[in-house]
């Protein structure tokens, strides 16, 4: 006999996995395999007495950076998960989308209120972009957050014996460059085209997790927290993958290339600036430590070169470059990198003009 | 379900690793991270355990990600740092790291072929003009047989090294940097001497450090060095002073020694340079905190 009641509406089911993977997924697969091969070979090489010291140094640098960076990334993922679940889209629209310029100007300085390191900011930005924060504001926070914050100001002050001019220059240049690049990218790119496939929201009204349903009821706090943790855990795998590869490359270069090798290439201030920018990219230091490294070059390099190291490092390095692949499309990454490098170089040339004397 | 299980397992392994470092293997943690950041390791473990709990609770939920066929390399990538913990345990920073991370030591830098056939991957350093001495202090375990330098060589070395003296900030958490000392006239740490050698000139001091002996130094002297970190071992920079051994035998390179003696300073280009006239040089074990802060 037929039941008098209609069958219940099915709960939302996430989309089935794709039958054929995209080019970016295949590329990611190849990169992963390549990295695993290289890492395994380096490990084997360390068994030979001739290479034991070198591989030992790589291991120390690699582990040290991972043990420091991974917890920050986890904290960032947690913050991103909370943003995903608890920050309403309407609030984001109210704050950021009405006045684009104001949104970028505010985002560039948000690190003063929400200090965040470069490892933690990427998962946070992923969630903010998914909430509808405009690309320009997101990029301004991405670049400005790790440098325009009180912790970096404090470490810079300590490294330079409380020479406040250095602190002001570092934070000021960082803010202006973050805002400028944010405005540029916001103007040139559409948010839909700017994000990597993995970073795009799964559905406009639901994240695709199994507790979403179309029956309209709002889940309780416990379910929401579980939801936030679920998002955060997914970020651990997406962002952590690139963090590991970037950190390994950084540790490899750090162990192989001596600081003195950079000194051999100096001839003019603009060369010193370029050199320190290159060093910032390959050394991958956290934004609190790089001030002490830069300060060790006092008396050897012009102030603009030291500042180039301190401004570029938190915005862009090998580790961040790899993490960007989980966030932006390749075209945006290319534009972002070119814009940041160009802006930092030009800004430091201006600094060299107005502040040629040593700090 | 297998993907979810793998994800949960990876997070569990990392959580256990962090807890192991924090609770059991603190000597290893001390060689990686500044103590003021150790809370990060504990925090990371807690967050990972939370993620782990959520992942286990979702084991039977449909997995929206692509198949395991495409994701297994990314899971293995996340395990790679844990595998590198094994060679890290016996690895140490040594005189090679000292030279690699020193800025402006052009007098010490010129080494063709790294002075050892053991690590051809390390790029040969450019010869400085006028110097053709091979640095053999990087040879592990060998007793250095220093040859007396010409006076101009020593002056050049000191002049170059003088700009390397770090103008370090006032230290916090001084207790973490204090080496266990036998009674001397003044209990002074290595860091305090480096920061302000003039303050301790004329006093008897005792320091624990690693040895770097080099042919370009006078035969009676060696460098007593350690590494200073701000956040983690990756940003470690060498800090050092000189020791006048006064008849004592030169210790093995990179070995840990305890040096007692009177502190004096040399001025080079107006900057004070610490020098200990050693009364006693004894072999010592690696401190529990090998870095200074």
**Model confidence over B233-244: pLDDT tens digits?**
988 888 999 998
CB contact under 8 A, B99 and A65: no
| pLDDT at residue A15 tops 70 | no
For residues A297 and B103, give the distance between their C-alpha atoms in angstroms, rounded to a whole number.
7
Beta bridge partners, B133, equal none
**d(CA A70, nearest CA chain B) in Å:** 7
Query: How sure is the predictor about B64, in pLDDT bands with cuts at 50, 70 and 90?
Result: low
**pLDDT at position A14:** 41
CB contact under 8 A, A53 and B43: no
Residue B88: closest CA among chain A residues belongs to which residue? A59
- pLDDT tens-digit profile of A81-107? 787 777 777 776 676 665 678 889 989
**Most A-contacting residue of B87, B119, B120 (CB-CB within 10 A), to test interface:** B87
CB contact under 8 A, A297 and B57: no
pTM: 0.73
Query: How sure is the predictor about B140, in pLDDT bands with cuts at 50, 70 and 90?
Result: very low
Stretch among A103-107, A183-187, A218-222 having the lowest mean pLDDT: A218-222
Phi, psi of B178 (to 5 degrees): -75, 125
Residue B150 forms contact with A (CB below 8 Å): no
CB contact under 8 A, B169 and A254: no
Q: Shortest CA distance to B240 belongs to which of B215, B211, B217?
A: B211
| pLDDT at residue A204 tops 60 | no
| pLDDT at residue B173 tops 70 | no
Give the number of other CB atoms < 10 A from CB of residue A197. 11
Give per-residue burial for A105-128: e unless 16+ CB within 10 Å, then b: bbbbbbbeeebbbbbbbbbbbbbb
**pLDDT at position B62:** 64
Q: Show the 3-state SS of B27-95.
A: HHHHCCECHHHHHHHHHHHHHHHHHHHHHHHCCCCCCCCCCHHHHHHHHHHHHHHHHCHHHHHHCCCCH
Helices (H), chain B: 2-23, 26-30, 38-57, 68-83, 85-90, 95-100, 151-162, 190-195
The separation between the first and the last C-alpha atoms of chain A, rounded to the nearest angstrom, is 90
- pLDDT tens-digit profile of A291-325? 877 877 777 788 999 999 999 999 998 888 888 88
Q: Residue A126: in which H helix or E strand, if any?
A: helix A118-130
CB contact under 8 A, B66 and A21: yes
| pLDDT at residue B165 tops 60 | no
**d(CA B222, nearest CA chain A) in Å:** 21
**pLDDT at position B192:** 85
Asked if A235 and A35 count as a contact pair (C-beta separation under 8 A), the reply is no
Prediction ipTM score: 0.74
**pLDDT at position A321:** 86
For residues A51 and B119, give the distance between their C-alpha atoms in angstroms, rounded to a whole number.
5
CB contact under 8 A, B77 and A70: no
Query: How sure is the predictor about B230, in pLDDT bands with cuts at 50, 70 and 90?
Result: confident
- pLDDT tens-digit profile of A27-67? 778 889 999 999 999 999 999 999 999 999 999 999 998 99
**d(CA A1, nearest CA chain B) in Å:** 33
Instruction: Using an 8 Å CB-CB cutoff, list chain B residues near A74.
Output: 43-44, 47-48, 51
CB contact under 8 A, B61 and A210: yes
Whole-number average pLDDT of chain A: 80
């Amino acid at each position: 006999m037929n039941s008098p009641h209609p069958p219940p509406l099915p709960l939302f089911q996430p989309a089935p996995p794709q039958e054929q993977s995209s080019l970016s997924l295949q590329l990611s697969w190849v990169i992963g395999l390549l990295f695993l091969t290289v890492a395994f070979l380096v490990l084997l090489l360390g068994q030979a007495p001739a290479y034991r010291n070198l591989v030992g140094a790589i291991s120390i640098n690699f582990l040290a950076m991972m043990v420091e960076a991974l917890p920050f990334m986890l904290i960032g993922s947690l913050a991103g998960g909370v943003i995903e679940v608890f920050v309403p889209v309407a609030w984001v629209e109210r704050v950021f989308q009405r006045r684009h310029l104001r949104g970028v100007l505010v985002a560039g300085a948000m690190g003063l209120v929400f200090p965040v390191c470069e490892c933690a900011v990427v998962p946070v930005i992923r969630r903010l972009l998914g909430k509808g924060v405009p690309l320009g504001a997101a990029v301004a926070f991405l670049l400005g957050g790790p440098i325009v914050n009180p912790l970096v100001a404090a470490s810079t002050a300590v490294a330079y014996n409380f020479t406040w001019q250095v602190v002001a220059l570092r934070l000021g240049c960082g803010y202006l460059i973050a805002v400028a690049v944010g405005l540029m990218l916001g103007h040139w790119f559409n948010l839909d085209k700017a994000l990597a496939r993995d970073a795009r929201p799964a559905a406009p009204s639901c994240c695709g997790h199994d507790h979403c349903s179309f029956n309209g009821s709002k889940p309780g706090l416990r379910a929401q927290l579980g939801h936030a943790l679920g998002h955060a855990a997914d970020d651990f795998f997406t962002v952590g993958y690139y963090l590991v590869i970037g950190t390994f490359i950084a540790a490899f270069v750090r162990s192989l290339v001596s600081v003195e090798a950079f000194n051999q290439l100096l001839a003019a201030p603009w060369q010193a600036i370029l050199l320190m920018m290159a060093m910032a990219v390959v050394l991958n230091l956290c934004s609190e430590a790089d001030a002490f490294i830069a300060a060790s070059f006092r008396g050897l390099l012009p102030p603009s070169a030291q500042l180039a190291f301190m401004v570029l490092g938190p915005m862009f390095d090998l580790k961040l470059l790899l993490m960007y692949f989980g966030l932006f499309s390749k075209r945006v990454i290319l534009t972002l990198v070119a814009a940041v490098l160009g802006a930092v170089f030009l800004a430091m040339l201006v600094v060299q003009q107005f502040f040629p004397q040593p700090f | 379900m297998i993907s979810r299980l793998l994800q949960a397992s990876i997070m569990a392994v990392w959580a256990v690793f962090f807890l192991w470092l924090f609770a059991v293997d603190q000597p290893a943690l001390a060689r990686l991270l500044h103590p003021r950041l150790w809370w990060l390791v504990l925090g990371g473990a807690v967050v990972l355990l939370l993620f782990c709990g959520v992942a286990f609770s979702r084991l039977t939920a449909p997995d929206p990600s692509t198949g395991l066929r495409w994701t297994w390399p990314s899971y293995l990538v996340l395990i790679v740092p844990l595998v590198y913990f094994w060679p890290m345990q016996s690895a140490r920073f040594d005189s090679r790291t000292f030279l690699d991370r020193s800025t402006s030591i052009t007098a010490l830098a010129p080494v063709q072929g790294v002075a050892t056939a053991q690590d051809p991957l390390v790029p040969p350093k450019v010869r400085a003009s006028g110097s053709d001495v091979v640095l053999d202090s990087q040879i592990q375990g060998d007793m250095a047989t220093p040859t007396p330098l010409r006076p101009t060589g020593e002056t050049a070395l000191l002049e170059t090294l003088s700009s390397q003296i770090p103008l370090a900030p006032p230290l916090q958490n001084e207790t973490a940097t204090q080496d266990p000392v036998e009674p001397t006239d003044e209990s002074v740490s290595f860091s305090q001497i480096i920061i302000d050698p003039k303050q301790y000139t004329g006093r008897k001091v005792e320091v624990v450090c690693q040895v770097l002996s080099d042919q370009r130094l006078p035969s009676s002297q060696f460098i007593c060095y350690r590494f200073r970190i701000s956040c983690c071992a990756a940003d470690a920079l060498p800090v050092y002073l000189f020791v006048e051994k006064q008849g004592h035998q030169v210790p093995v390179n990179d070995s840990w020694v305890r040096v007692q003696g009177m502190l004096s300073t040399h001025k080079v280009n107006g900057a004070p340079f610490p020098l200990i006239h050693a009364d006693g040089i004894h072999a010592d074990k690696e401190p529990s905190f090998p870095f200074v802060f």
